[in-house]
Structure 1
Amino acid sequence: MSEGKNQAQKELWNTSVGERWTRRQVDIDAMLAAFTQALMQAADLEGGPPQQVLDVGCGSGETSLMIADLGHTVTGVDISTSLLDLAQRRAGDREGVTFMEADASDAVFHSPFDLLISRFGVMFFDDPQAAFIHMVQYLKPGGRVVFVCWRPPGENEWVTMPMQVLASVTEPPSPPPPDAPGPFAFADPERVRSILTNAGLTDVKFTPADAAMPMGSAKGAIKIAAYVMEVGPAALPISLLPAEGVAMVRERMTSAILPRLKDGHLSLGGSIWVVEARKASGRAN
C-alpha cells in the first residue's frame, strides 16, 4: 500500500472514531436502521440465486451478516481493526462471511463479485476515482454497485443540531472542501455520477431517502447528549476542546435536547442518497 494513502482515515478509524463506533455499535446500527433497510432493498438480495458480494467499509459487520443470512457469500473489508474484531465476534460460526482488514482502494481479491455494496463506506477515499476504478475491476460483467451516502450536511438535522450547539460555545472548524474525504464527500450527485461513469459503470441512479434517526437507546437528555457528542461530525472538534469547553457543550447540548424529547428519547432527521449502478455486460475484468 502506498505511503500515506488514505492515511488520515486509517488513523481516525484505528483510534478515537473506531473506538467510539465499536463501543456504540448497537446504538449506531439502530440509528442507521432505516437507511440499512433502504440499502438492502435496493440490493435486492432476498430470494434470488446465491451471489458473491463485496461489502466496502463493512465496519462492525451489520450489512455483511445480513447478506450472509440471506444465503450469499460476502467479503467484508474495512480499515478499522477494532470494528473488524467486533464483526468477527458477531459472526461467530456463520458460514459464507469473511472479514478482511484492508483498504478497498488497493486490496487484492481472489474472485470476482456480483455486487459491491456499502453502507456509508465509500466517501472516505483520498482519490475516489482511482478507488472505484480499482474496485470495479473485481466486478463481474453486468455486476452491480449499490451504496448509501449522505446528502449535504444542511439537509441532515443529526449534523446541524449538534454543530449549532458547538458553535454557541466555540468557533467551529471550517467546513472541509466539498470533495475532501469524509461523510459528505458524495453529497453532490453530479460528482458521484462522474466518478462512477469514469470507473466503467452505467445506469447510474440516485434515489433520495429520509428518515428519523434515534440518538441512542438511553432515555433522558443527559445520556442522549453523551451519545450525540460522540457520534457525528461534531464529535472530533468536541473531543479537542479543553475540559471546561466540553462541560459547556454538554450543558448546552442537554438544554437543546430537552424540549425535543419524546417519551424520553430523541430522534433527528437524516437524508441520504441510495446510489445504484451497473458494470457493462461486455466489460471484462
Structure 2
Amino acid sequence: MSGDNEGQRSDWTDVGRGWVAQEAVFDAAFAPVTEAILTAAGLTAGNRVLDVGCGSGTLLAAATAAGAEAVGVDISPTMVEAARRRVPGATVVLADAQDSDLLEVAPGRPFDRVVSRFGVMFFADPVAAFSRIRGAAADDARLVLVCWRTREENPIFTLGTDVLTRRLPPAGPEPVDAPGPTTFADPTRLRTVLSAAGWAPTVAPLDFVCDYAGADPTGHGDGVEERLAVVLATSTGARARAVLEPELGPDGWAALVEEVRADLLSHLDDRGGLRIPGAAWLVTATPG
C-alpha cells in the first residue's frame, strides 16, 4: 500500500486528546513494553535518540533522564503539544516521518538510536517511512521498536470494546497491509519492509501483561475504571459515543457504559485485578 497519511493525521489529532488524558494509564499498562525497548536500546549519555510516533513523550522522558539528546516526531498536534509540556528538554517535531527529511526538521548529527513504542504501524507507505528513518540514522545506529502481533493474540483490542462494537454498524474489511495497529502482525511482512528500507532486522516475540490494576493511583483498585476510561478514549469509544449517544439518549448511553464496566468486572483475575495479556514483536535492527 502507498499513499499519504492525511487520514492518520486527522484521526490522531482527534483521538490523541483521549490518549493524552489517559497517558498515566497507558504508561502503567505498557510499562513492560517500555522496559523492553529501553533495555534493547541501551541508551547512554551523549546518544542522539529519535522517537518515531512519540505520543505524549514516555520514551523521550526516559532518553532525557539517561542523558541523551532526545528528539520526538509525531503526526498529531495534540500529541506533540503534550510531549513538549511533559519533556521540555526534548525537541519534539510535528512532522510525518514518511515524507519528511528528519535531519532537516530536527537539525543535528545522525541519530545513534531510533526507538518507537507502537508508533510505526500507521504509515501509508512503510518502506518510504523506514527509508527516511534510515537516512537520518548513523551508520552504526540501532533501531528498536515494538508493534502488535495479531488481534486474536491480543484481547486488549476487544475486552470492553466489543460491547460497543456490537452496537455499531459493521466496519468494512480492510487490506491486511492497511495502516493500523496490526499491520505488522505478520513477521515476514515486517522483515520484508525493514529490509527493503535498508535495515537488517531481528524480530522476536514479546509477551507481556497490561496491568490495569497497577495503573490505579491509589494502589488498591482493580483497574476497571482505568480500563473503562481507556476504552472510551480510543477511536472506537469516541465513534461509539458519537453514533450511539444521540440514538440511545443520555440514559441509554450511560446504561451502555455500565455494560462495558460489567464486562470488565467479569474478567478480573484471581487476585481481583484487571490484567490483560499482550503479544507484540520486539524488533532490533541495524543499517543493512
Determine whether 1:253 maps to 2:255. Answer: no
1:182 is matched with 180
Gap change, CA 1:119 and 1:253, over 3 Å in 2: same
Q: Which of 81, 84, 106 is matched with 1:85 structurally?
A: 81
- Residue 61 of structure 1: CA displacement? 0.7
2:96 is matched with 103
2:209 is matched with 212
Tell me which protein shows more helix as a share of its residues.
2
Q: TM-score, normalised by structure 2?
A: 0.85
Tell me the distance in 2 between the aligned counterparts of 1:81 and 1:132. 21
After superposition, residues 84-233 of structure 1 pair within 5 angstroms as 84-92=80-88, 94=89, 97-108=90-101, 109=103, 110=107, 111-202=109-200, 204-215=201-212, 217=216, 219=221, 223-224=225-226, 226-232=228-234
Residues 158 and 270 of structure 1 are in contact (CA less than 8 Å); yes or no, is this contact kept in structure 2?
yes
| Identity of matched residues, % | 36
Number of residue pairs matched by the alignment:
270
Gap change, CA 1:268 and 1:31, over 3 Å in 2: same
Determine whether 1:271 maps to 2:279. Answer: yes
- Residue 32 of structure 1: CA displacement? 1.1
Gap change, CA 1:91 and 1:168, over 3 Å in 2: closer
RMSD: 2.3
Matched AA of 1:67: A
SS of structure 2 residue aligned to 1:145: strand
Q: TM-score, normalised by structure 1?
A: 0.86
Question: Which deviates the most, 136-145 or 214-223?
Answer: 214-223
Question: Which deviates the most, 154-163 or 29-38?
Answer: 154-163
- Residue 222 of structure 1: CA displacement? 6.9
2:55 is matched with 59
| Runs of 4+ more than 6 Å apart | none
1:9 is matched with 8
SS of structure 1 residue aligned to 2:266: helix
Unaligned stretches of 5+ residues in structure 1 = 281-285
Tell me the distance in 1 between the aligned counterparts of 2:238 and 2:180. 12
Residues 159 and 233 of structure 1 are in contact (CA less than 8 Å); yes or no, is this contact kept in structure 2?
no
Unaligned stretches of 5+ residues in structure 2 = none
SS of structure 2 residue aligned to 1:257: helix
